[in-house]
Amino acid sequence: MSHDAAPQPATARRSNALSGVARVPGDKSISHRSFMFGGLASGETRITGLLEGEDVLRTGAAMKAMGAHIEKHGGEWIIRGTGNGALLQPEAPLDFGNAGTGSRLTMGLVGTYDMETTFVGDASLSGRPMGRVLDPLRQMGVQVLKSAAGDRMPLTLRGPRQATPIAYRVPMASAQVKSAVLLAGLNTPGITTVVEPVMTRDHTEKMLKGFGANIHVETDERGVRHIFIDGQGKLTGQVIAVPGDPSSAAFPLVAALVVPGSDITIENVLMNPTRTGLLLTLQEMGGNIEVLNPRNEGGEDVADLRVRASDLKGVAVPPERAPSMIDEYPVLAVAACFAEGETLMQGLEELRVKESDRLAAVARGLEANGVDCTEGEAALAVRGRPGGKGLGGGTVATHLDHRIAMSFLIMGLAAEKPVTVDDANMIATSFPEFMGLMAGLGALIE
Ligand code: S3P
């Protein structure tokens, strides 16, 4: 398992123009949910394009441990679910490795069951706050029998005989918290309501509807979303084609913008509007990104992206855009290193509780590579150097964070001097094909 493996440093060097056509692996958020909902639904779910990263495979293992049948035949995953309300108590702790989404959503999914479930994870996941999910679950009648200080993993949940439906206003912009409450509502009689003042990725709502859950969304005059789920209904297996992950596409995309002369196409990228903040921001910075063949597949917008090297300009990114690009700030900060002028990113408080404190990790990594930047409580300003002159030469501490590792390897492709990351192992959690895909486009990473 990668979190036990010895650190594997990697170095990226200034590369010649990137070119070619690439496909990034399936969307991580949709892949986790495909395993979960397929494992829960009655009948068969068939999934193609699944992200086979460690995080998602651990969600699959957890669902198996609770009674789902999951097998791979050729390129297709075939699941026979337990039926809603019929998950079994796992015999051993569920190990989620590095995965916040897998662990938090599963806490919601099984917390309301009249059984005991223990959640464990790696050092990064064990440091992340779980109270944001445990608080609403407690209101529904779930007991937290054991936890590490501050509601952290390892932790053990015990569900009530019958959970109580609640109306819960999500206090931070978090799709994981929203989803955990909705999933808890699946095994709760009556209507569970989630109030979402700031819209976050809506894969849970869309996919649950596809599986036949009785769920609907009303948006009030202030733009606040009210999501209602009527519990204990039947879910039915589905056929799912997972589109490419925009959060993974972000890495070759930024690489092509900053490496002079590049021209690449990334096919089949998810274009759900709750996920396209980075694209918009890079276009505002002057990035030459063409959205080709926009289409709808399986209820999601997808497109191919043609990206050409561009002279970027710094921008102020509106804070309200943060939920639609929350995982992309590290690589946006790298794009900003090569832009003319200052890029200001605000509303970043959630970055402090990702796989690492991403705001600090990015700022330290930039400083180690000669970038002029300022870290605020929830903001980051980066003053770029077009051409990357004087940049690079540093080693970045990745703190078990895949996106920190990939972002700084992208930086090394355009900086004057090489950039080293202290550990590339965690890349396998979300983008196992990263090294091969980047090499195929002409990137020098070893
Ligand atoms: C995710 C939600 C986001 C995101 C994560 C995936 C999801 O987390 O950072 O990578 O699939 O619901 P938060 O809900 O903590 O913002």
Residue 1 confidence (pLDDT): 42
Confirm or deny that 128 is annotated as ligand binding.
Answer: yes
Residue 155, SS3? strand
* Pocket lined around ligand 1, Cβ cut-off 6 Å: 29, 101, 174-176, 179, 201, 326-327, 350
Ligand 1 atom nearest to 175, measured from its CA: 14
Query: Domain locations in the chain?
Result: 10-26+243-445, 28-241
Rounded-to-10 torsion of CA 369, 53, 27, 409: 10
CB burial string 227-252: b at 16+ within 10 A, e below: bbbbbeeebbbbebbbbbbbbbbbbb
What interhelical angle do 28-40 and 175-186 show, nearest 10? 10
Q: Domain 10-26+243-445: which topology?
A: UDP-n-acetylglucosamine1-carboxyvinyl-transferase; Chain (3.65.10)
For residue 172, the ligand 1 atom closest to its alpha carbon is 16
Is the torsion defined by CA of 287, 290, 294, 297 positive or negative?
negative
Dist. CA 101 → ligand 1 center (Å): 6
Q: How far is ligand 1, taken at its centre, from the CA of residue 285, in Å?
A: 25
Cα–Cα distance for residue pair 152/127, rounded to 1 Å: 7
Helices 402-412 & 329-337, crossing angle to 10 degrees? Answer: 20
- How many residues are there in the chain? 446
Check if 327 is active-site: yes
Pairing of strands 214-219, 225-230: antiparallel
Looking at residue 298, its pLDDT comes to 87
Is residue 158 marked as binding? no
The segments of the chain whose pLDDT lies below 70 read: 1-4
Taking alpha carbons only, the member of 441, 438, 407, 416 closest to residue 13 is 416
CATH 3.40.50.720, domain 28-241, yes or no? no
| CA dihedral (328, 330, 336, 341) positive or negative | positive
Residue 176 annotated in ligand binding: yes
Is 262 known to sit in a ligand binding site?
no
Please answer whether residues 393 and 349 qualify as being in contact, where contact means their C-beta atoms are separated by less than 8 angstroms. no
Say how many Å lie between the CA of residue 179 and the centre of ligand 1.
10
**Residue type at 173?**
A
How confident is the model at residue 328, as a pLDDT? Answer: 98
Whether 139 and 116 have beta carbons less than 8 Å apart is answered as no
Cα–ligand 1 centroid distance for 88 (angstroms) = 26
| Cα 325 from Cα 332, distance rounded (Å) | 9
Q: Which amino acid is at 433?
A: E
Map residue 34 onto helix, strand or coil. Answer: helix
Mapped onto helix, strand or coil, the DSSP state of residue 302 is strand
Q: Which of 176, 182, 300 to mutate to test the pocket of ligand 1 (most atoms within 8 A of CB)?
A: 176
For residues 141 and 117, give the distance between their C-alpha atoms in angstroms, rounded to a whole number. 15
Q: Tell me: the pLDDT tens digits for 211-233?
A: 999 999 999 999 999 999 999 99
Secondary structure letter of residue 95 according to DSSP: E
